Chain A
Amino acid sequence: MSEIVKEPSMLLQKEMIARNYEAITSKHETGRKVSSTFVPGNLNELLLCFDIVNNLPEINAIQNGMRKLSGNYIMDAEKAGHSEDVCTYVKADIGMMGAGNIAPNGKPFPKPDVLLLSYTGCYTFMKWFELLREEYKCPTLMLHVPYEGDGHSTKNMRDYIVKQLKEVIIPGLEEVSGIKFDIDRLREALRNSAKAEDNLVWVLESGKHKPSPIDAYFGGVYYIGPIFTAFRGTRDAIAYYDALRKEVQARIETRQGPITPDGSNFNDQRYRLIVEGPPNWTNFREFWKMFSDEGAVVVASSYTKVGGMYDLGFRHDADNPLETLADYCLGCYTNRNLPTRVDILAKYIEEYEADGLLINSIKSCNSFSAGQLMIMNEVERRTGKPGAFIETDLVDPRYFSAANVKNRLESYFQMIEQKRLGTAKAA
């Protein structure tokens, strides 16, 4: 199968990611310190203040999933005693370590200097870093972010996070890096973040156009790449989102859709979908093609909010540097309770004039998956738009059944057609 055809912004991002992997794997030459941390609720602006390079185990697992390496890594981890029931990101990461811990640039990952456990919206993170700590024997800094169980954050939650930042995380990073914390440096990074976030939101909201100039799921995972990872807070991220915005603006002006995996312009958009849940990575292109071949474009998704819900108005705020980090961590998608997730998805259906909600339920991600059937039913009830459910996994190829997924998608599209016919008749 040939490579996915890349849009210019994808190529720019590819270069940025390669540069970050180079920074990680060359730490012994450069003397830079490396942290491992997670995507949701990451504190990249803070790490920048200490010149610490950011390595993300989930992203490594995704990279290995897309490069068809994760299957063996997962089985190796299971042979070593890890359960078949748990998160496959964890097992892909642990299996990779056992196989030499080789980064996508072909060089070995160095041991991290610190595990920065920003524990937002996913229970597994906590155990994952306990497991990595056993391996790396390096300091682990835990930032506990309470869950928004009542649908909102409270002053107590925010104060708790700020206190941890002041008394645990910042002193810990100072010790690891040998660099004293400079709040002005943090403010500068936060200002950079907000600029990039403005453009990201503009891009994501362009899905409201018809035809949509973006695919907010399969394309969306590229759009969120820099801002959810090692680049938020940098000038690189500002440049990337400027370029991305121009690219999307050009498509809006010429009424063009995004590029499909085959390289054609996706203009014949027959179905506009909202998608909930992460994508499958081991068969990413095949999965994407099942949608584009049927003329289904994703106009908004929840996965692109997993590292921050900027479209609901949040921006990193340089005037309240630590408080804004707390608010960011609290507001990530999976840190919001089920009723809030229903509200968000129902709102997307209306605002993006979508035909319905499709849920990709991930076997090894309870944070997203537990309760999704209720989400589907509630969104259907509130919007009157049909929902559908498919099941895959993150990076375990054993749980991707192309025929099953395709069948279900085709049935779903037929259901949307019938719904349209019914609506037309009623009118």
Chain B
Amino acid sequence: MTSTAEIVSRCEAIFEDLDFTAARAWKDAVPGRKVVGFLPLYAPLELIHAAGCLPLGLFGGGDKLEVIHGDAFYQSYICRIPRSTVELGMTRRLDFVDGMIFPFVCDVIRNLSGMWKIMFPNVWTKFFDTPQNFDPEIGGSYYVAELQEMREGLEALTGRKISDDDLRRSIALYNENRRLVRQLYAFRARQPWKAPTSEVYLLMRAGLMMDVAEHNALLVGYMAAAEKEDRPKRDNVRVAIYGSFCEQPPLNLIKSIEMAGCYVVEDDYILVNRFLTEDVALDIDPLQALAAAYIGHSVETSCKYVPREGEKGKFHVDQIRKAGAEGVIYATPSFCDPALLDRPMICKKLTEEGIPHISFKYAENSGQMQPVREQAGTFADSIKLWS
């Protein structure tokens, strides 16, 4: 059996490879294959997969990419992820990507979709606007038609029809993926010393850059190996991380929080394959099924409207309780409108619920971890002493 170290090492290599060698190899393996990149946060990967394409998660350039061209496109007060994404594009690291999906997150990502159309006119570029009305008859119907439009766009890109059966097969694979991801998160919440977040994170990131079936096998392998491995349990505090759904922190920041005495038992890193919280139905029209899952069973996060005031932050509190977290670190990328506008409301809810919390900002290329370690360490100590 493969060890967790081997699995994590493989994932880390994929995560750190800004030339996307694995995705290029996937494409080259069979003539005619296409790769469709997607930015945070949620995109219907099932459709891309059913079109025979590789959905490639693009989460910026991290702390390993020197941004030169990208900075020329953005003012100082705009977050890092669009800069490094532009950098990836301009340095031809994404020259094998045939299509790009920009899901709705915020105005920056929205505008980036138009920039991509100008910069890369030969790439099929789609802004994907998910509904903010959660009535199945209103937002749901709109969403079905949007999915159909995306289906037709992918068909035009690949030159092949996506049948309902193709879609159902993909949905089944992604249902399996979501189940395994939920299992892994539940496993981490139960025994976080056996599944450190720095490892789980790499598993998730790499999983969004490979075929879903391969990722499913990887998840099964990791959980089996982690269960068997004997890792010491420390006297750490159990925390949840929120605010990090789009621009991702450097891996060192995640590790630093753990090194400061925190077990991260709940988080909103990436969220893509946890966005739908239940299986997508297989016994109805597949687009209807995807829409119903989004409308009825998706996470609360800052780029979604919460229709009822009393519900605001409730999802977070429920998740915190379920995971047994003792406190929350609200960690946000600088200049992130969604997370920073949400922060006062979510933190107010946490205060009302008696859940300790702290907040700080980061950037994907943050290098100084000492302040994070000190802040997280002090937070952990305060929970141990006073909560």
Contacts and interface: CB of A to CB of B under 8 A. Distances in A.
Interface of A: 80-83, 85-87, 90, 119, 122-124, 126-128, 130-131, 133-134, 137, 140, 142, 144, 146-147, 149-150, 154, 156-157, 159-160, 163-164, 167-168, 337-342, 361, 363-364, 366-367, 369-374, 378, 391
Interface residues of B, number: 59
Given A83-B340, A144-B133, A374 B345 contact: no
Nearest to A363: B77
Given A86-B337, A131-B341, A147 B129 contact: yes
Contacts of B214: none
Contact of A131 (B102, B127, B344): B344
A149 B129 contact: yes
B133 A142 contact: yes
A85 B149 contact: no
6 closest residue pairs by CB, A with B: A149-B127, A338-B114, A127-B341, A160-B142, A83-B340, A337-B114
A371 B115 contact: yes
B73 A373 contact: yes
Contacts of A391: 75
Contacts of A140: 307, 309
19 contacts: A85-B334, A86-B340, A87-B337, A123-B110, A124-B107, A124-B341, A130-B305, A134-B309, A147-B127, A149-B129, A159-B142, A163-B141, A163-B142, A337-B111, A366-B108, A367-B111, A369-B75, A370-B74, A371-B111
A149 B341 contact: no
B369 to A, nearest CB: 21
B384 interface: no
Nearest to A371: B111
Contacts, number: 164
Interface string B107-149: 1101111110111000000111101110101110110011001
Nearest to B340: A83
B183 to A, nearest CB: 33
A160 B127 CA distance: 17
A157 B138 CA distance: 11
Interface in B304-336: 305-307, 309, 312, 332, 334-336
B196 interface: no
Given A147-B127, A156-B149, A337-B114, A370 B82 contact: yes
Contact of A373 (B74, B104, B135, B138): B74
Contact of A164 (B104, B133, B146): B133
A144 B131 contact: yes
A128 B361 CA distance: 21
Interface string B51-88: 00000000000000000000011110110001000000
A45 B137 CA distance: 26
A128 B341 contact: yes
B212 interface: no
A308 B250 CA distance: 42
Contacts of A126: 132, 305
A338 B74 contact: no
B150 to A, nearest CB: 11
Contacts of A133: 309
B343 interface: yes
